[in-house]
């Protein structure tokens, strides 16, 4: 346990500890408020007494004033912290003495952890691009007018579930794994295991087509892998569409075909990350689709 205790009290990890506490605190507050509002709606006591749907509070000056004060307090706190605590700087880089493991800053450790499961262009370029594009697309694809100005889960089940899974589970967990569970050689170490600097682990990974007896580098292997990836997206998009169409879903009618395709593509791309992690950790599956230009 000495390693995990040492990691917990490193100066570099103070920010991560505060980040974890802040995320947990605000997530609990948000879900608590949402559950309370949903309970009031179910009991027919919504909106609460003294609040009607016509009551409005202007952003300026009420909200902006509070945000400005919070920004001042946070800036002052960071200034005091920076004066009292020395920056955890290391010595000058020495090519003869390299750190093991060499870890990125904590806010990039999620991307570094994804490099274990994906090609660099996917983990470092495609996924971050999809995250940015997805966030930019939210105002155009979110057609649900409810939940504006108050917390709710019942009225925004899909949005709350996707955000909670994508951020709280995937992104935060990847950072925690990169900080506390990746040791020398970027090997997986449990908290009770001691890090061994010179440990060499021979791990044999297989491509998906190799399980079928097909050479992943051949033309047939590339076609097979591409077919699996294409089928994954097609089934993920078509099956829910058919079900919602059969039920004459109002949400599908409001979304329209373009919005539905966009939401489905982003959703199944996000789900592909834990699927690929599971296949790699359990079945040692490296790639599903292998081509001369890229690997997935």
In this prediction, residue 170 carries a pLDDT of 86
Q: Which tokens hold the place of 157?
A: 């089940």
In this prediction, residue 50 carries a pLDDT of 57
In this prediction, residue 239 carries a pLDDT of 93
pLDDT in tens, 72-95: 999 999 899 888 887 777 778 888
pLDDT in tens, 7-34: 777 777 777 778 888 888 999 999 999 9
In this prediction, residue 252 carries a pLDDT of 86
Query: In the predicted model, is pLDDT for residue 206 greater than 60?
Result: yes
- Residue reference for tokens 């593509």: 265
Segment 225-241 mean pLDDT: 93
Q: Which residue from 130, 135, 118 is spatially nearest to 174, judged by alpha carbons?
A: 118
pLDDT in tens, 126-165: 888 988 888 888 888 888 888 877 889 998 998 899 989 9
In this prediction, residue 55 carries a pLDDT of 63
Segment 42-60 mean pLDDT: 71
pLDDT in tens, 264-284: 999 999 999 899 988 988 888
DSSP string for residues in the chain: -HHHHHHHT-GGGHHHHHHHHHHHHHHHHHHHHHHHHHHHHHTT--SPTT--TT----IIIIIHHHHHHHHHHHHHHHHHHHHHS-----PPPBTTB--SS----GGGHHHHHHTTTS-HHIIIIIHHHHHHHHHHHHHHH----TTSSS--STTSHHHHHHHIIIIIIIIHHHHHIIIIIB-GGG-B--TTSPP-TT-------B-HHHHTT--TTSHHHHHHHHHHHHHHHHHHHHHHHHHHHHTT-HHHHHHHHHHHHHHHHHHHHHHHHHHHHHHHHHH-B--SSB-SS-B-
pLDDT in tens, 41-50: 888 877 766 5
In this prediction, residue 193 carries a pLDDT of 78
In this prediction, residue 53 carries a pLDDT of 54
In this prediction, residue 48 carries a pLDDT of 67
Average pLDDT, the chain: 85
54: confidence class by pLDDT, cuts 50, 70, 90 = low
Query: In the predicted model, is pLDDT for residue 185 greater than 90?
Result: no
- Residues 289 and 208: their CA atoms lie apart, in Å, by 8
Query: In the predicted model, is pLDDT for residue 245 greater than 60?
Result: yes
* Highest mean pLDDT out of 114-123, 181-190, 200-209: 114-123
């Amino acid at each position: 346990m000495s390693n995990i205790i040492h990691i917990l009290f490193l100066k570099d990890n103070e920010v991560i500890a505060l980040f974890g506490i802040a995320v947990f605190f605000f997530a609990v507050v948000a879900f608590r408020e949402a559950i309370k509002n949903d309970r009031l709606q179910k009991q027919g006591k919504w909106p609460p007494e003294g609040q009607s749907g016509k009551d409005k509070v202007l952003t300026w000056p009420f909200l902006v004033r509070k945000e400005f004060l919070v920004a001042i307090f946070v800036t002052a706190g960071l200034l005091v912290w920076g004066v009292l605590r020395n920056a955890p700087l290391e010595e000058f880089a020495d090519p003869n003495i390299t750190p093991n493991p060499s870890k990125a800053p904590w806010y990039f450790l999620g991307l570094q952890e994804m490099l274990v499961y994906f090609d660099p262009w996917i983990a470092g370029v495609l996924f971050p691009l999809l995250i940015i594009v997805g966030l930019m697309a939210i105002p155009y694809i979110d057609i649900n007018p409810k939940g504006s100005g108050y917390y709710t889960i019942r009225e925004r089940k899909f949005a709350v579930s996707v955000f909670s899974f994508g951020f709280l589970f995937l992104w935060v967990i990847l950072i925690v794994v990169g900080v506390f569970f990746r040791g020398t050689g970027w090997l997986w170490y449990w908290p009770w295991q001691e890090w061994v600097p010179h440990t060499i682990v021979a791990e044999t990974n297989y491509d998906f087509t190799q399980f079928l007896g097909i050479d992943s580098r051949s033309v047939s292997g590339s076609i097979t892998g591409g077919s699996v990836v294409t089928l994954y997206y097609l089934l993920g998009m078509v099956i829910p569409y058919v079900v919602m169409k059969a039920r004459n879903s109002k949400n599908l009618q409001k979304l329209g075909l373009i919005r539905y395709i966009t939401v489905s593509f982003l959703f199944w791309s996000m789900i592909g990350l834990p699927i690929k992690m599971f296949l790699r950790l359990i079945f040692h599956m490296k790639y599903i689709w292998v081509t001369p230009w890229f690997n997935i």
